[in-house]
Amino acid sequence: MSKALIIDDETQMRRLLRMVLETRGHEVCEAADGQLGLQEAAFHRPDVVLLDLGLPGLSGIEVLKRLREWSDVPVLILSVRDQEAVKVEALEAGADDYVTKPFGTAELLARLNVIQRRRFTRQSPQITAGALVLDLLHHEATLEDAPLKLTPTEFALIKVLAEHAGRIVTQNQIIRQVWAGQSSDASEGLRVHINHLRKKLGETGPKIVNEPGIGYRLEAE
């Protein structure tokens, strides 16, 4: 049974999330502010953390940074709209994904599932995202069992997205992994290659969804 820690200052929100998560078989602990949240995280060792960004006192970002000093527990950010810069900051500080309030329960649970899945390390040199299969050993891709020709950059790009399938990857995270050490206008290059990849993946392949101001998410289902 997985253990979830909810760090949110709204009592009602905590109570509701607890009910939602408990009916899905999670064990739940709560904290009303960042300081308590960090204590609870150290004490209970949760399997996943739901962290509100708008906490009083110690900010959500600060809680995340301190948590990341000693723990790699998956963290889902709960945020409101129009906080793109803060969301990016949180994601780069080690958050795994975010949901925007008001969010549907289905969306919340789907995100929690995806970010908890990453705990299981990959055993085979293959990544599957819907109809797309990447063979990391031979650097080959197949779409619906037909070979798909990709340039090395496109392969590196789809690899990053597929490794995080269903999760948001920030623009900087992509650029760091695909264009490491190159100083050209990587953001422009990224758009161009995403454009090419989308054309190659077509209707049958997984969808590359843009989250404006934040990054990309590969939707396999």
Partner 1 sequence: MNSSETHSPKPPRPPVPVAVAVVGQFSWGLTTLFVLASACWAVLPYTGHMFAALVFLLAIVLAGTRWNRSAVLTMAVASALVWNFIFVPPRFTLHIESPQDVVMFVMFFIVALSMGHLTTRLREREAALERHHQEREQLLAEKHRAELLAEAETLHRTLLDSVSHELKTPISIIRTAIDGLGTENPFAREIETANRRLQRIVENFLEITRVESEAVKPRPEWCEATDVLDQATRTLKRELGAHPLKVSGFADLPLLMLDSRLLAQAVSNVLHNATLYAPMGTPIELSATLADEQLEVRVRDHGPGLPEDVDDRVFEKFYRTPGSPAGGTGLGLAISRGLMRALKGDITVRNHPEGGAEFTLHLPVKIRQSPEP
Candidate list 22, 43, 70, 105; residue touching partner 1; CB under 8 A:
105
Candidate list 13, 32, 58, 133; residue touching partner 1; CB under 8 A:
13
Residue 122: CB minimum distance to partner 1, A: 28
* Residue 26: CB atoms within 10 Å: 20
Candidate list 17, 48, 77, 115; residue touching partner 1; CB under 8 A:
17
Decide: is 110 part of the binding site for partner 1 (CB under 8 A): no
Decide: is 201 part of the binding site for partner 1 (CB under 8 A): no
SS (H, E, C) the chain: CCEEEEECCCHHHHHHHHHHHHHCCCEEEEECCHHHHHHHHHHHCCCEEEEECCCCCCCHHHHHHHHHCCCCCCEEEEECCCCHHHHHHHHHCCCCEEEECCCCHHHHHHHHHHHHHCCCCCCCCEEEECCEEEECCCCEEEECCEEECCCHHHHHHHHHHHHCCCCEEEHHHHHHHHCCCCCCCHHHHHHHHHHHHHHHHCCCCCEEEEECCCEEEEECC
Candidate list 1, 25, 102, 121; residue touching partner 1; CB under 8 A:
102
Decide: is 184 part of the binding site for partner 1 (CB under 8 A): no
Nearer to partner 1, 20 or 136 (CB): 20
Decide: is 182 part of the binding site for partner 1 (CB under 8 A): no
Task: Please give the residues from 138 up to 157 whose contact with partner 1 meets the rule CB under 8 A.
Answer: 151, 154
Candidate list 39, 70, 92, 103; residue touching partner 1; CB under 8 A:
103
Which residues contact partner 1 by CB under 8 A?
10, 12-13, 16-17, 19-20, 54, 80-82, 84, 101-106, 151, 154, 187-188, 190-192, 194-196, 198-200, 209-210, 212-213
